[in-house]
Amino acid sequence: MRYYLIAGEASGDLHASCLMHALKRHDRQAEFRFIGGDIMAAEGGTCVRHYRELAYMGFVPVLRHLPTILGNMRMCKRDISEWHPDAVILIDYPGFNLSVAKFVKAHTDIPVYYYISPKIWAWKEYRIKSIRRDIDRMFCILPFEVDFYEGKHNYPIDYVGNPTVAEVDSFLAFHDPADALSGKPVIALLPGSRRQEIKDNLPAMLEAASAYSDRYAVMVAGAPGIEPGYYHRVMGGAGRSVSIVHGQTYRLLACAAAAVVTSGTATLETALFGVPQVVCYKTPLPRLVSFLRRHLLKVKYVSLVNLICDGEVVRELVASSFSVANIRSELGGILPGGAEAARMKEDYRELRRRLGTGDAADNAARLMVTRLTGR
């Protein structure tokens, strides 16, 4: 069968590639056409656009690139109609993907599957209406989404497990613990996968971590598709003694003593490696954002670790609480011997228990193929 996949960012590229690999196990005639990245391309098929051409965030960048975004959307809809796959599979990235789903549902008979739900439980809950209308089946990876969709909205879904668990465990199974990136203990900085995130978060992360640079090697996880020169421009002179580790985030986390992480999938990856972390995210107009967060967001936390555990396992420094002094202080508490390090590692055990141990990509692929073939 033929599958059309859309992943709009680096984490989606990874998760979609695992799903493609699993689909090939369950459907030996699987063909792929996709919007995605290099990891998906390694699984085969035709990449019609790289996600770098889609990954814009923030009001001004989106507005500036609006003609490109709309052009990519028109191209995608036309391409789906012409290729006419047996299924369209969407991976997160709701602004783009929900528009595509609406078109596919209105103009074709192609089933639309969503693998990795948009975070409508946090904000834009009204999107449940378009999901109910345009998505044939939702395959979720966070355990609390079952209660949100089925309990609150009476919309049946499949919880397939969390793909990050299998991805991290697979790496650890074949990773040599002696394969260290430095002769000193490491503080890992994970400032995000988008340029704006990196520009906003990395300078403060770097300044905070520099207080411990006499004892620790400070290393930055370089995101796919972001050239080293961009990091050097953002860091300026402060980055002279800092290493940028490109395409090796898991290797970096495997040897890290502690980490400073922007909100997102990276917080979950860091926790599954057992690395104590501080979660931080800088926003414009921080006091206003803090007010809006208290009154508009539907959830108490921004990090996946805290959301899954339903409690503050990791400290979140967001909007008005984001500062170099706060990051430095919290980082000191999670370094080896710090007051919070042992407690946080123990809480990570509960996180793993709640996520379960199933192979999410394989579970989702098997269910998709069964639905399409009736077998």
Is 168-355 the same fold as 2-161+358-373? yes
E strands in 116-202: 137-140, 158-159, 186-190
- pLDDT recorded at residue 284: 64
CATH fold label, 2-161+358-373:
Rossmann fold (3.40.50)
Q: Is the dihedral of CA 197, 203, 204, 205 positive or negative?
A: positive
Lowest-confidence region among 58-72, 285-299, 348-362: 285-299
CATH fold label, 168-355:
Rossmann fold (3.40.50)
> What is the mean predicted confidence (pLDDT) over 226-240?
85
> To which H or E segment does residue 231 belong?
helix 228-235
pLDDT tens readout for residues 53-98: 765 554 445 555 566 777 888 999 999 999 999 999 999 889 899 9
Q: How far apart are CA 186 and CA 28, in angstroms?
A: 43
- pLDDT recorded at residue 273: 97
> What is the mean predicted confidence (pLDDT) over 243-260?
94
- pLDDT recorded at residue 167: 87
- pLDDT recorded at residue 9: 84
- pLDDT band for 292, please (50, 70, 90 cuts): very low
> What is the mean predicted confidence (pLDDT) over 120-138?
94
- pLDDT recorded at residue 371: 95
Q: Is 117 left (phi over 0), alpha (psi -120 to 50) or beta?
A: beta
311 vs 177, more confident: 311
- Torsion, Cα 128 133 138 142, to 10 degrees, reads 0
pLDDT tens readout for residues 184-229: 999 999 999 888 899 999 999 999 999 999 999 999 999 877 888 8
> To which H or E segment does residue 102 belong?
helix 94-107
Q: Is residue 360 within 8 Å of 161, Cβ to Cβ?
A: yes
Q: Is residue 175 within 8 Å of 152, Cβ to Cβ?
A: no
> What is the mean predicted confidence (pLDDT) over 261-267?
89
Q: Give the global pTM.
A: 0.82
- pLDDT recorded at residue 289: 47
Identify the burial level of 59 via C-beta atoms within 10 angstroms of its C-beta, where 0-12 means exposed, 13-18 middle and 19 or more buried.
exposed
E strands in 56-207: 87-91, 112-115, 137-140, 158-159, 186-190
Identify the burial level of 91 via C-beta atoms within 10 angstroms of its C-beta, where 0-12 means exposed, 13-18 middle and 19 or more buried.
buried
**Can you say how many angstroms the Cα of residue 365 is from the centroid of all Cα atoms in its chain?**
20
- pLDDT recorded at residue 148: 95
> What is the mean predicted confidence (pLDDT) over 7-12?
86
Q: Is residue 262 within 8 Å of 201, Cβ to Cβ?
A: yes
> What is the mean predicted confidence (pLDDT) over 240-255?
90
Q: Is 369 helix (H, G, I), strand (E, B) or coil?
A: helix
Delimit the domains of the chain by residue range.
Answer: 2-161+358-373, 168-355
Q: How far apart are CA 255 and CA 178, in angstroms?
A: 9
**Can you say how many angstroms the Cα of residue 295 is from the centroid of all Cα atoms in its chain?**
25
Mean pLDDT of the chain: 89
- pLDDT recorded at residue 75: 92
Q: Is the pLDDT of residue 237 over 80?
A: no
- Strands 256-261 and 112-115, sheet pairing: unpaired
237: which DSSP letter? G
- pLDDT band for 357, please (50, 70, 90 cuts): confident
- pLDDT recorded at residue 271: 98
- pLDDT recorded at residue 64: 59
Q: Is the pLDDT of residue 290 over 50?
A: no
- pLDDT recorded at residue 59: 43
